[in-house]
Structure 1
Amino acid sequence: MNSVLNGMVLDLKGAYPVKEGPLNHLRLAVKDLFHLAGVPTSAGNPHWLESHPVPDETASSVLKLLNAGVELVGKTLTDELAYSLNGINYHFGTPCNYAAEGRIPGGSSSGSAVAVSMGLADIGLGTDTGGSIRVPASYNGLFGLRPTHGVIEMDNMVPLAPQFDTIGWMTRDLETLSKVADVMLPPQTVHLPKQLVVFHPIIQGRHLWTDDATNWLADRAAVFEAVSHIELDESLLSFASETYRTLQGFQAWQVHGEWITNEKPVLGSDIAARFDWCRTITEAQYEQAERDRASIRRQIDDYLPSDDTVVMMPTTPGAAPLLDETPEELADYRNELMGLTALAGLTRRPQLHLPVLKDQGAPWGVSLFGAMQQDKALIALSERLLEVNDG
């Protein structure tokens, strides 16, 4: 596992018989957090691999896809214990961002994103706790869905923060993403939202909603009965980021603290620093963050009062950061990024990334962010939006 430029850590072609089903002829790459019976799980860390038994059960989410006819082609790299948004793994390396040379691939589902982007798989199965489907989808020019929290079982997996952990997937086209949704999601009544709210985030005085985004939406505004605009100032985004980080960090220590304390594994410096901070979060800080979460959720609920309303917003601040940015620069960027990605986690809502824009010549795009249990409505609305030709 010393070279993962294509995102793969384990070739599984031919290891599982292909069944007949709606996903025939589609290849699946699975993030190395999902247990496969008889196959080791590394969770992106060699000491985790050494200190945990080989699983004897397969995650039900993977079984759903296998039973629907996919071909499982491999396991893919994850950031250590899925606790990053960069896609840079201290032990195993950094998958190549095929869509944006010289830029990070985005984590922690980086391997699945790169495998799909390079055409080695059609479906990249991953997890999204703080943005780990949406961010690599944005950086690699893919469609990516973080479903409503809790609609897909998270059994037989390595968790990070169960309050936020969500199974998601990335594809090169919306049709494939929709086919996977039909297999993975429970039945839902599809009602296309008629009211659009556009979030205009501002970070360090920079408006993230660009002229290109405005022009792209202008060609599609007729899809909605009404379009309104709301500025999200930096104070709200910072508040959401800090609230999320505290809740996630407290849970991450509850999940992994005993193993880290007892086993003393070697971790990448950024991951180690993150867990060192997690160790210091108190019950009182966690409880205050829960109250802050409720406050943020009420505010977002005010913006989306019914299933008839959907938000469109930038998924990330822009193109993926460059590979040569310093650890300090990446850490500062991560805090800004999480102001955007935290909103779905804090409110348990689904979010779907659409790779429809560029920034600095690299992939970028917007997300649809909607009501709980309206995942398929977001997909149907996206199909409608993409039917409209630019200009």
Structure 2
Amino acid sequence: MDELGFGVTGENLHCGTPINPASPSVVPGGSCSGSAVAVSAQLVEFALGTDTTGDLRIPASFCGVLCFRPSHGVVSTLGTLPNSHSLDTIGWLARDPHILSRVGDALLPAAACGLKGKRQLVFADDCFELLKIPNQKTVDVIENAVRTLPYGFQPPKHINIGQYISSNVPSLKEFCEPSTKLQEGKSALKALCTVMLLLQRYEFKANHEDWVNTVKPKLGLEVSTRVLQAVNFTDDNIKSLYIVRTEWRAALKNLLKDTGILVLPTMAGHPLKRNSKQRLSSEFEDKMYAFVSIAALSGCCQATVPLGNHNDHPISISFVAAHGSDKFLLRAILDMYSAIQEQIVLASKLALPPVIDRDVDTSELLKEKGNNSFKRKQWSKAIEFYSGAIKLNDTNATYYCNRAAAYLELGRFKQAEADCDQALLLDKKNVKAYLRRGTAKESVLNYQEALQDFRHALALEPQNRTALAAEKRLQKHLR
């Protein structure tokens, strides 16, 4: 385990870095790297660990094993050294969902609710937009798996969780950076993880400041940085951190109620190479902590399930249920697991869709209907019409570019970027495609690539006001 439960890579200055059995060239993740490696290497059937801000979920994702972080306070932490008592939990890892569930039977109180009725998956679309992993390996796998189950699940729904947070956690506003309407949800997600980290620093300082200042322990660079941030933490507005925590738990309970399960990515990307001098980028950390803060700050339970590999590294997905719904969530994972494994295999063999006969006149009519819907701000309807036009004629760059604009309005940035990619393959001088792809990339904090797109647009139209303003704005971000 990383020193003081603070690391996220699994590297340890004193004991060395455990080898990741699922991908030996990369770090195993932390802080509970030993537990994850032991389970992944089949040395044990399950392992326990602490999870404060992702300490079990991160290595579970990197090592390709199942993980369960219980609701805060449901499993006793008596006998452990606290990191942050408002966030600390005792969780567990396993390779087999039946083992994961049986450990839950042993540790969870009888009051931790079991099956409550037909479950409904709620996909956090804006979180998946932040990934560079195609939806067919994540969202589609889960949706297709649930469709094959004969009973027990309602049709899934999709939401922008960032916008939901922004609208339902009023005290979070003081932690949000100024943002456009389009980026409001992204700002709320970042603010949520900021509150989580500030709360952790405040409570760690209260618990360990005297010891750190007296002993002056020799710590690894990553851990030392986090410990110093905590010990040097000063903030007079501590009360607001606890208010946000309370509001967020209530808001998530209201969203999920008794039968909802939020679906979101576990991690933002692939782990670092072993023994690399490179450090985690601020962009990677922002996304990673945004994902883990959803359960950590609300105190809700979360299960992490591996989804095979992407680019030769394990990937996973997570499920979050309301506080106290631990056995309900474990049962849902057990019911879905076999179907998920079947869909992972099918996704890896996914063939390209067949070519559809073209009908130019009809496709143009559908495009016009899409344009009319767009003007009326009926974004989803516009997407349906543009998609129909593309099915009939997939060589028209305008159709893709128009659909990208509608995706942007819905905050579905990954789909917008993909449509702009296709538009530019068909028409390399499509200025709107560069502008919209740049907007999509900027919205997921990919500032360098966004700047390149806006500069491409300026090369084609030197006086384009949108591109000029974006260039100026992004240069400030990249300083």
Question: Shorter-chain TM-score category?
Answer: 0.7 to 0.9
1:314 maps onto 2:265 in alignment = yes
Please list the CA deviations of residues 195-243 of structure 1 after superposition, one character each: whole Å capped at 9, or x if unmatched: 2210124489656672211321232233521211113442122111111
Select the residue among 198, 207, 223 that pairs with 1:255: 207
Q: Write the mapping of 1:1-391 to structure 2, written as runs, cut at 5 A.
A: 78-187=1-110, 188-191=112-115, 192-202=117-127, 206=131, 210-222=135-147, 223=149, 224-231=153-160, 232=162, 233-304=185-256, 306-323=257-274, 325-330=276-281, 332-388=283-339, 389-390=342-343, 391=346
User: Using the alignment, how far apart are the partners of 1:179 and 1:241 within structure 2?
Assistant: 31
**Structure whose alpha-carbon radius of gyration is higher:** 2
- Secondary structure at 2:18's aligned position in 1? coil
Note if contact 2:204-2:231 (Cα within 8 Å) is conserved in structure 1.
no
Q: RMSD over aligned Cα, in angstroms?
A: 2.1
Note if contact 2:133-2:310 (Cα within 8 Å) is conserved in structure 1.
no
Q: Which runs of 5+ in 2 are unaligned?
A: 163-184, 347-479
Shift of 1:254: 1.1
User: Using the alignment, how far apart are the partners of 1:89 and 1:357 within structure 2?
Assistant: 27
Shift of 1:278: 1.4
Q: State, as a whole percentage, how many aligned pairs show the same letter.
A: 28
- Secondary structure at 1:151's aligned position in 2? coil
Do the aligned partners of residues 205 and 339 (structure 1) sit closer, same or farther apart at CA in structure 2, a change above 3 Å counting?
closer
How does the TM-score come out when normalised to structure 1? 0.75
Shift of 1:257: 0.9
User: Using the alignment, how far apart are the partners of 2:298 and 2:205 within structure 1?
Assistant: 22
Please list the CA deviations of residues 348-368 of structure 1 after superposition, one character each: whole Å capped at 9, or x if unmatched: 100001112322221111111
Shift of 1:288: 2.8
How does the TM-score come out when normalised to structure 2? 0.61
Do the aligned partners of residues 333 and 325 (structure 1) sit closer, same or farther apart at CA in structure 2, a change above 3 Å counting?
farther
Q: Which has the higher strand share?
A: 1
User: Using the alignment, how far apart are the partners of 2:317 and 2:245 within structure 1?
Assistant: 24
Higher relative contact order structure (alpha carbons within 8 Å, sequence separation ≥ 6): 1
Equivalent residue pairs, number: 313
Q: Which has the higher helix share?
A: 2
User: Using the alignment, how far apart are the partners of 1:229 and 1:324 within structure 2?
Assistant: 40
User: Using the alignment, how far apart are the partners of 2:85 and 2:278 within structure 1?
Assistant: 27
User: Using the alignment, how far apart are the partners of 1:144 and 1:206 within structure 2?
Assistant: 21
User: Using the alignment, how far apart are the partners of 1:265 and 1:347 within structure 2?
Assistant: 32
Q: Counterpart of 1:265 in structure 2: which amino acid?
A: P
User: Using the alignment, how far apart are the partners of 1:210 and 1:323 within structure 2?
Assistant: 28
Shift of 1:339: 0.6
Shift of 1:307: 1.0
Shift of 1:99: 0.3
